[in-house]
Amino acid sequence: MSSSSSLYQRRRPPNAQELEGIPWLRVLQPHERDRAVSALQVTQVFVGEYVCVLGRQVTYWFGLVDGLLKMSSENAQGVSVTFAGLPPGGWFGEGTVIKREPYRYNVQALRKSVVAGLPVDTFHWLLDNSLGFNRYIMNQLNERLGQFIGAREIDRLSNPDLRVARSLAALFNPVLFPYPGGGSRLLRITQQELAYLVGLSRQRVNEALGTLEAAGAIQVEYGGLRVLDLEALRSGHFASQKSARNQPAEAEAH
């Protein structure tokens, strides 16, 4: 697989459509936007390539224009822990960029993706000069804390249906990921990609999706799925409904 240096070699200026997919540009004043756009670069990332590597010094603030990424690390026992799936519209690593420190996680492409990068120095210039950008980053950091707490909770869940439900719900955070379904709640994701995010087998993810679809929380479609009841995914209420439906049958069996 190509090294991260190849990502740098493949960089180019973003086109107009790609710029439309960068949400924070909208909060900038015209002169701030001009400076940011002139510094922005985009690059194509192939399946399995790393955008960020644990221990490597930060040079860009990254965001996903198209595709799907996974943010993860390894615990002391060498077991991989997924912090987040990253759909289009999501920008990540602002805490690392603010502190100009090495990455404490890996970010890997689960499918062919287009990633945008803003150089660290331009990021700090915007922090120093743009009130709108400061507010955007403050909201990002606040939501990111909740996201990581949620990821730890998901990691501890023993119920596979709940793991899949909460992981799907996390991809529809309107602050961190403004465009995962283009406003339609249609998520383009394969069962294998979802399995990589959740840390379950593809077969078990397929069973969980069947449970969620039967409960009316999602609708599986060609090439992805449509979220019908986001609150049910977040709360896990479908699981209690399923349990209640099963109880009479279990009682009769006894």
pLDDT at residue 79 in the model: 66
Q: State the pLDDT at residue 2.
A: 45
The strand order across the sheet containing 91-92 reads 41-45, 113-119, 60-66, 91-92
Planar angle of CA 106, 109, 110, nearest 5 degrees: 120
The pLDDT score that the predictor gives to residue 150 is 60
Are 91 and 214 part of one and the same domain?
Answer: no
Boundary of a domain, candidates 112, 135, 156 = 156
Looking at the structure, do residues 63 and 164 belong to the same domain, yes or no? no
Query: Domain check: are 63 and 151 in the same one?
Result: yes
Are 48 and 99 a contacting pair, CB within 8 Å?
no
**DSSP assignments along 24-68, one per residue:** GGGGS-HHHHHHHHHH-EEEEE-TT-EEE-TTPBP-EEEEEEES-
117 in Cβ contact with 42 (< 8 Å): yes
Determine how many CB atoms are found less than 10 A away from the CB of residue 57: 11
188-217 confidence digits (pLDDT tens): 888 888 888 888 899 999 999 999 999 999
Residue 102: strand, helix, or coil: strand
**Confidence at residue 236, expressed as pLDDT on a 0 to 100 scale:** 76
Q: Can you give the residue range of the structural domain that contains 50? A: 1-156
If asked whether residues 166 and 109 sit together in one domain, one would say no
Indicate whether 145 and 230 sit together in one domain.
no
Q: Count the domains in the chain.
A: 2
132 contacts 29 by C-beta, under 8 angstroms: yes
Question: One digit per residue, pLDDT tens: the chain, 254 residues?
Answer: 444 558 888 999 999 999 998 999 999 999 999 999 999 999 999 999 999 999 999 999 999 999 999 988 876 666 677 777 888 889 999 999 999 999 999 999 999 999 999 999 999 999 999 999 999 999 888 887 766 666 566 556 568 888 899 888 888 877 787 765 555 677 888 888 888 888 889 999 999 999 999 999 999 988 888 888 888 888 877 654 554 444 443 333 33
Q: What is the pTM of this model?
A: 0.77
| Same domain? 167 vs 178 | yes
What span, in angstroms and rounded, lies between the C-alpha atoms of 153 and 69? 20
From 128, 156, 184, the end of a domain falls on 156
* Rounded Cα distance, 195 and 111, in Å: 13
Task: Kindly state whether residues 54 and 76 are assigned to the same domain.
Answer: yes
208: domain CATH number is 1.10.10.10
Nearest of 21, 36, 33, 96 to residue 61 by alpha carbon: 96
Contacts of 49 (CB under 8 A, 6+ apart): 1, 2, 4, 6, 7, 108, 109
- Indicate whether 144 and 185 sit together in one domain: no
Structure tokens at 97: 């960029």
User: Nearest CA to 85 among 10, 189, 233, 14?
Assistant: 189
pLDDT (0 to 100) of residue 78? 67
Of 134, 156, 178, which residue constitutes the final position of a domain?
Answer: 156
